[in-house]
Amino acid sequence: MEKASKSVDTKESKKGYQTIDEYILLFPPNVQEILINIKNLIREEAPDATEKISYQMPTFVLYSNLVHFAAYTNHIGLYPTPSGMETFQKELSIYKSGKGSVQFPLDKPIPYDLIREIVKFRVKENIEKHSNKKK
């Protein structure tokens, strides 16, 4: 499998993208396909979310940050906040992870169904938080 390079680490490429689509184009075709699939499934589950680049990563926002994702040399990083990680702790236990992030190796199938469930959870959580603030 062709490996993605973290192209965004260079000064030139950091200035080279301002949208998620531009970010995706920085990577080899096989990684672009994964990133497009992730972007599309987030869009399906969060049609009202806005897209932006935050922390130099593709980010979806629904009242507040919903989820970030990024490509690296050997994995795709997903950043669903600590609550997203805690809620799906069992399902994510087979992956390398941190407090608010998980790494999906590029040499293994990407768990799109799990990512979809995490995004659904985060959408519900953000909507509830926003509703509670309005009360």
pLDDT tens digit string along 63-86? 999 999 999 999 999 999 999 999
What's the whole-number average pLDDT of the chain? 90
Distance between CA atoms of 77 and 5, rounded to whole angstroms? 13
Tokens 């994510």 belong to residue = 92
Distance between CA atoms of 115 and 45, rounded to whole angstroms? 10
Please state which CATH number belongs to domain 7-134: 3.90.1150.200
pLDDT reading at 8 higher than 60: no
Q: Where are the domains of the chain?
A: 7-134
Residue 16 exposure: Cα atoms within 13 Å on the Cβ side: 14
Overall residue count recorded for the chain in this entry: 135
What pLDDT does 12 receive? 39
Distance between CA atoms of 29 and 15, rounded to whole angstroms? 21
What pLDDT does 15 receive? 59
pLDDT tens by residue, 20-61: 999 999 999 999 999 999 999 999 999 999 999 999 999 999
pLDDT reading at 7 higher than 80: no
The closest alpha carbon to 110, from 24, 40, 31, 7, belongs to 31
Exposed/middle/buried for 6, CB within 10 Å: 0-12, 13-18, 19+?
middle
pLDDT reading at 10 higher than 50: no
